[in-house]
Amino acid sequence: MKKKRKIYDDDDGRTIADMSGVGNPSPIFGGFIEHKTEQTEQQDERPEMQPFDMTRKERGAYILGALGAALLIGMVFMVGLGLAILLMILVWSK
């Protein structure tokens, strides 16, 4: 077995994360090259997940929940902006 060359003084030669199966993530510098390893082949053998079928009532509940959460976050920002404007008016009006 080939001995690894130590780059740093505190390098003990252990492999923390094996990056040999990682391809180039940039499409500009060579595209999305994917190297097949044993681990990726095992992952490919998994059965695909079936889509979750929702009833019309459940879908509406999810949509209303998401809209309600978004509106609640928007209201928090609006109240904060209103308080900041009120504080500025009170400080600068004197």
- The answer to whether 78 and 70 have CB atoms below 8 angstroms apart is no
Distance CA 44, CA 42 (A): 5
Residues of the chain above pLDDT 70, percent = 60
Selected residue with higher pLDDT from 19 and 60: 60
Selected residue with higher pLDDT from 5 and 1: 5
